Every structure is written in C-alpha cells, then in structure tokens.
Chains A and B, each alone.
Chain A
C-alpha cells in the first residue's frame, strides 16, 4: 500500500484551503456588505467553478498558467517560475474548485450576523478592525467552519482540473483521485478500491463531524 498519494492529497488540500480562506473570507465579507455596479456579474463569476465541469475549469487554468498562457508567460519571464505540472498547479486547481463552497458559506454566515451587534460596538468606541475580529468573525464562525470543511473535502476530491494542469506525477501531483483513475485504468482494482475507501471515509468523517459540531452550537 502506497501512502504517498494520501499524504500528498492532504497536503495539497490543506494548502489550497489556506489560499481559499485568505481570499474567500475578505471577498465574502465585501460581497455581503457592499453594493456596487456589476455585483451580480462578480457574484456569478465567483460561483462559476461550482457548477462548471472541472475539466473546463482546468482548461481555462491551463490557458492562463501554461508556458504560453497570460499568467504563465509573466511568471516565467519575471521570476523563472513554471507552475504547470507541479504540485503548485495541483494546489491552484484544488483551490479554484473549492473556492465557491467557502465563499458561499462565509457569505451566508456574514449575512446572518445581527448588524445591531456591530452598531453597538461602534457606539462602544471600537474601530472597524476590532469589530470585525471580535464581533463579526466570531458570530459568523459556525458558518465559516462548515465552509472550511466543505472546501477541504472538495479540494481532497478534485480530479478534472488537477488532471488538466498538474497531470499524474507520482509523489508530486498524483493525488488520491488521480491515483484511483490510473489504477482503475491499468486494472489494479484492489488498489483503486482501497484509495476510494480511504477518501470516502475521510470525507464522510469530515462532513459528519462538522454536522455534529454545528448541532451542538445551536
């Protein structure tokens, strides 16, 4: 039994979760609180990776970060970085498809925060950063946690976009889903089945755990 794909999957999902948190929380907060022209277009774009076939997401990413892609050329010429077919690309693919889940959960959580708590905090001399950290974020915390779990589980299971831009390099980009696909292709049914069992157990455990926790919160 080769554990490398399992460890690699956890690492890649963990890193992509970090990115999704850093980017998703501020964007979700702004989208929940600000109105601007073209907001519904931005909203649709942010949710798009949720409904688009991952292969299409992967194809777009390939176009962007490939050697001749818009971002790929820039990265290579300026910094000598080549993202395509690296674990970095796998992180990017996982982060892209997981982003909408984090974003949607966090936005719903921010929308459900009682604005009067923030207003009271303003009359209690708190600045906006203190209010966000001590009032808004803790009040939205359960929703953000469910976003974290959904995004992590989604990142763990990512296949289509990963296959397009990261490929199947054992030890570098061969995550569990990729390993399952190629094991099944080459008729190693026991190996594929074992990986499938592992990923099913992990994702089930995560979702069950968070549901249980959320129930205790209310």
Chain B
C-alpha cells in the first residue's frame, strides 16, 4: 500500500496531499500546474517534501519526523516523464536494458516478454530520434519495467499522442498492471482516460485534493 501525507511549499501555492492507495491504477486528475508532477517527483525521491511521510508496503521512503529520505535509487519506483526523457545517444536496446539488474534471472525472463508485449523487437537498433511518439512511449515504459520497480509513476504518459494510438496504449497500460501486479499512478487531465484507467481517482486543484 502507498501511503502519502505531505506538505510542500511551491512558488504559487502550498501542495498539501494525503491519500492511501492499495493496488491497481490510481489516477491523479486535475488541471496543469496543480502540483501533480511535483507529487510524483516527491514519491520518486527526486524532490523532497517540506513535511510529512511517504511509505510503501510499510517501508518508509520519506519521513520528516524520522529524518528519513531515501534516494531514488533505494526506492525501486519507476518514473516516466511526459516527454519520456529517453537517452538520445543510446539505441532502443540500451535504453530498455539501462536499469535492468545485471545477471538477474528475472531479466532473462522479462526481457523477451516486454519486447513482445510492446512490439519492440524490430526497433532495437534505432535511436530515440528515429521513433514515433507512440514507439517512444513504449520504449520508456519498457525501460521503466526492466528495472523491476515495485511501483510505477507515469506523468501524462499519453498526452503527446493522438486518437487511435492513445486508446491502444491505454489498453496496454491496463495489461501491464494486470501482468506485473504493481501499483501504477497515472497523471492525466483527460477525463475519459481517467475513467477508463482508474480504480481510484484523486482530483487535485491548486495543490489540494478535492474529493478522493
């Protein structure tokens, strides 16, 4: 279970969030600039909250009281940025395997499975610049999964894509959750998408949760 209760002062408002989330897909829904991305960064360990606690499966990731602040490397949480942030100077294969634990038997099993699920085999030798938006999204997702995360955070994963491919990737996200059985937090400001993906929806505005 992911348990978040934090405060962080942002330039324009105070981010104040408190929620618990068990499994499945949690959607953070709200207008741009309402603090959703900062919240994801706090969970991943890339930004520190001013106050509060974040724990996952009874493991404390951040606690202002206990003075705990695990590094991103210690959290085992995958994060996918809105623009994917693929390593431009590496081919698809090296991107995907970047975070894969060396010599893990699980990797040997997962890798072919991921290539098949995301139809990546024909793209392995290409660089990110030679991929379409949907292909880049798949590579980024594959890269995050190969690091064997215990949770996935996706910041507007589909906002750069249009119509058909977007619906297809929504289905893939649901499939990923069902296969890996890890909690996934998805940020979106598309209401239809939120409804399709979510087991739980959190509405955010100006750094606060409206209804959970």
Q: Which A residues contact B (CB, under 8 angstroms)?
A: 114, 116-117, 119-127, 134-135, 138-139, 141
Contact = CB atoms under 8 A, between A and B. Distances in A.
B78 A123 contact: yes
Interface of B: 44-46, 71-73, 75-79, 81, 83, 85-90, 98-99, 101, 143-144, 147, 149
A123 B72 contact: yes
A138 B89 CA distance: 7
B99 A116 contact: no
Nearest to A119: B46
B160 to A, nearest CB: 14
Contacts of A120: 79, 81, 85, 143
A168 to B, nearest CB: 45
Contact of B73 (A117, A122, A138, A141): A122
Given A116-B81, A116-B83, A119-B46, A124 B99 contact: yes
Contacts of B71: 122
B78 A119 contact: no
Kindly name the residue among A120, A126, A139, A141 whose own CB sees the greatest number of chain B CB atoms within 10 A. A120
B128 to A, nearest CB: 10
A123 B76 CA distance: 7
A125 B148 CA distance: 10
B123 to A, nearest CB: 19
B89 A139 contact: yes
Nearest to B78: A123
Contacts of A119: 46, 72, 79, 81, 85
Contacts of B147: 123-125
A117 B87 contact: yes
A123 B77 CA distance: 6
A141 B89 contact: yes
A90 B88 CA distance: 40
Given A126-B73, A139-B88, A141-B89, A121 B98 contact: yes
